Chain A
Amino acid sequence: MRPIWVLALNTYKEVIRDRILYGLLLFAVILIGMSLALGQLSFAEQARISANFGLSAIHLTAVALAIFVGSNLVFKEIDKKTIMTILVRPISRLQFIIGKGLGLSLIILTMISGLALVLVGIFALLNMTVDVRLAWVLLGLLCESLILLGVTLLFSMFARPILVVCLSVGIFLIGHWQDSLAFFARKNPEGPTALVHWICRHFIPNLERVNWKELVLYDQPVNALVKAQAVGYSLAWYAFCVALATWIFRRKDVG
């Protein structure tokens, strides 16, 4: 466990000391701040629109971190040859991937927590009640970021960062359209949409399973069992992607 933790902390430091992160954070804070102004446009739904906009800002920032930083996570180590000084130490390639992934996950967690505090401030300004449902929504965002990070790590084993970003964004979009795809597949069970849906359902994660924004936006009750299953679903996807990435990485020349 120790090497994983050491690698994770180094990755954490590396990203936290990178100016790009602060650019992204500033962008997110501005978006969340704008949610106040945007809410004013509505006659009766100011709080809901502000909450929706604020949560979407956190969502996009977390996803951008997972995809854009994740696509460079291993590539940069190979490109700059820093990986050579690490893999000659008593560290397995599995530990390396897990350590890098854990470091970035911690960054995403920190970022979500920080932005959530800003959002809570906005909610306070709007006299909105903040309860445990917000924590569930944020957990859902973390789960989605984890899935996308796993997918990005997997793609980065055989593609360059720009292609990895394109593929991961594709997974992000399809992952959120799965329910719509299922709807059209039900309408026309014999058509090509049904086949596309079948493929997507089996090979692409359904990111709507961890999209729980409606808990806060529409005051819906929490079904803990369903949510726990969705967390398990996310972790399983992450573990699967990391295992497959490691399988490829173990066969890859890194010199």
Chain B
Amino acid sequence: MTEVLKVRDLKKSYKRGFIPRSTLVLKGVNFSVPSGSITGFLGGNGAGKTTTMRCMLGLDFPDSGEVQFFGGPLNEASKRRIGFLPERPYFYEHLTGREFLQFYARLTSSWNKKILDSRIDDLLKRVDLLFAKDRPLRNYSKGMLQKIGVAQALIHDPELVILDEPMSGLDPDGRMYLSEIIIETAKRGPAVFFSSHLLHDMERLCERLVVLKDGLCIFEGTTEAILDRGGVEFEVTYLAGGQKNLRRITEHAQVQPILKKLINDGAEIVEVRRMRSSLEEIFVKMALKGGKK
């Protein structure tokens, strides 16, 4: 699998305060995003997710480090292959939905009007905003703005879609809808790299995860791998002496001997459940302890 994005030893500091003091926000971030994958970018508030994205995309200038898109540096050609939605964006309120997408499409591509119009209609249909295409953005709800924001990131058929907190502030319906858009986008071919605080959505959507803590990458790998870090537990429900009992087994090797013993003692096994820690539990543990790759 080829890598569409590779970040190596990215460092960034900001000067803040009346007497400027340098604060190191990114302390050497390393990760990569394979083509065609949905990769989640996880981290607490102030971990450096948004700063990493800004540095990657040339919006902020890193102190040092290397960012490669499609095997090369960020340039005009690679920018044509990237779609981006920033966190909590405000869009041009004076434009209608259609004009808004026309504007971004014309900045990136040179499609003729006919192709552009049909592309915009397709995309508006995909994000369920066709009904509001001629409405000014100032009359859009937050969920609608987030959807049109995703549409502007997709308008030029990018091969890598980067979304910064796309679910932020959306209601459950909006989150569900956006999740579907992300899955559908990835099915069409582009890699999707997005950050979110909503771990349940991350667990459900992402094949791969990159976890950032205090400006350092503390995990990079598949979602399965991070879930395995939490270990596996088994929960046995059995009937003994006319009563329903529950027993937790933390070691996999102990499952068979314990079950045998329960049966020998005359217990009736009702259910054996394999339990795994949720991403949220694992993330909290990692955030408290810090972790190693």
Q: Which A residues are closer than 8 A to B by beta carbons?
A: 2-3, 6-7, 10, 13-14, 17-18, 80-91, 251, 253-255
Selecting from B50-58, B191-199, B224-232, B247-255, the interface stretch reads B50-58
Interface string of B59-100 (1 = CB under 8 A from A): 111000000000000001101101011111111101100010
Residues of B within 8 A of A17 (CB): 94
Residue contact B152 to A251, C-beta cutoff 8 Å: no
Residues of B within 8 A of A3 (CB): 107
Q: Contact residue range for chain B?
A: 35 or more
A89 contacts which chain B residues (CB < 8 A)?
79, 104, 107-108
The 8 Å CB contact of A84, one of B79, B84, B94, B107, is B84
CA distance A26 to B153 in the complex (A): 39
Given the complex, which residues of A lie within 8 Å of B92, measured CB to CB? Answer: 10, 14, 82
> Which residues in A have their C-beta under 8 angstroms from that of B82?
88
Hey, which chain B residues are within 8 Å of A85, CB to CB? Answer: 84-86, 89, 91, 104, 149, 152-153
A156 → B minimal CB distance (Å): 18
**Chain B contacts of A88 at CB under 8 A?**
57-59, 79, 82, 84
- Collect the chain B residues with CB atoms within 8 Å of residue A81's CB: 86-90
B141 sits at the interface (CB 8 A): no
Given that A80-B90, A85-B84, A254-B59 are contacting pairs, would A6 and B107 also be in contact in the complex, using a CB cutoff of 8 Å? yes
Residues of A within 8 A of B51 (CB): 255
- Per the bound structure, the CA–CA distance linking A180 and B57 in Å amounts to 50
- Bound together, the chains give a CA A2 to CA B88 distance in angstroms of 28
Q: Are the CB atoms of A91 and B84 closer together than 8 Å?
A: no
Chain B interface (Cβ < 8 Å from any Cβ of A): 14, 50-51, 54, 57-61, 76-77, 79-80, 82, 84-92, 94-95, 99, 103-104, 106-108, 110, 149, 152-153
| A–B complex contacts, Cβ < 8 Å, 5 sampled | A3-B107, A10-B95, A10-B103, A13-B94, A81-B89
Q: Which of B59, B76, B149 contacts A255 (CB 8 A)?
A: B59
A253 & B95 in contact (Cβ 8 Å cutoff): no
Whole-angstrom distance between the Cβ of A84 and the nearest chain B Cβ: 4
| A255 touching B50, Cβ below 8 Å | yes
Residue from the list B61, B94, B107 in contact with A14, Cβ < 8 A: B94
Q: Which residues of A contact B61 (CB under 8 A)?
A: 251, 253
CB-CB nearest in chain A for B83:
A88
The residue on A at minimum CB distance from B89 is A81
Q: How far is the CA of A88 from the CA of B76 in the complex (A)?
A: 9
Give the total number of A-B pairs whose CB atoms are below 8 A apart: 78
What's the minimum C-beta distance from B13 to chain A, rounded to whole angstroms?
Answer: 11
Distance, CA A3 to CA B58, complexed state (A): 18
A202→B228 CA distance, assembly (Å): 70
Closest to A250 in B: B61
Across-interface contacts of A254 in B (CB, < 8 A): 59-60
Minimal Cβ-Cβ distance residue in B for A252: B61
Which residues of chain B are within 8 angstroms of A83 by Cβ–Cβ distance? 59
Tell me, in angstroms, the Cα distance from A3 to B80 when the chains sit together: 13
Please name all residues of chain B whose beta carbon is closer than 8 Å to the beta carbon of A2 when the two chains form the complex. 106, 110
Given contacts A88-B58, A88-B84, 13 further A-B contacts (CB under 8 A): A3-B107, A6-B106, A81-B88, A83-B59, A85-B84, A85-B89, A85-B91, A85-B104, A87-B58, A88-B59, A253-B14, A253-B54, A253-B60
Do A82 and B89 contact each other (CB < 8 Å), given the known contacts A2-B110, A88-B57? yes
Most chain B beta-carbon neighbours within 10 Å: one of A82, A87, A88: A88
A86 / chain B contacts, CB cutoff of 8 Å: 107
Question: A89-B104, A90-B79, A91-B107 known; A84 and B58 CB under 8 Å?
Answer: no
Which of A2, A18, A90, A254 gathers the greatest number of chain B CB atoms within 10 Å?
Answer: A90
Residues of A near B85 (CB, < 8 A) are: 85
The 4 A-B residue pairs with the shortest CB-CB distance in the complex, in nearest-first order: A255-B54, A253-B60, A80-B90, A90-B76
Taking a contact as CB atoms under 8 Å apart, the answer to whether A84 and B89 are in contact is yes
Chain A residue numbers with a CB within 8 Å of B91 are 82, 85
- Given known pairs A82-B90, A85-B84, A90-B79, the reply for A255 and B107 (CB within 8 Å) is no
B84: chain A residues at CB < 8 Å are: 84-85, 88
Determine the distance from Cα of A80 to Cα of B152 in the docked complex, in whole angstroms: 16
In whole angstroms, what is the CA distance A90 to B158 when docked?
13
Query: Chain A nearest CB: distance from B162 CB in Å?
Result: 8
Q: Is the CB of A13 within 8 A of B86?
A: no
Kindly state the separation between the CA atoms of A2 and B76 in the bound complex, as whole angstroms. Answer: 14
Chain B residue with the shortest CB-CB distance to A84: B86
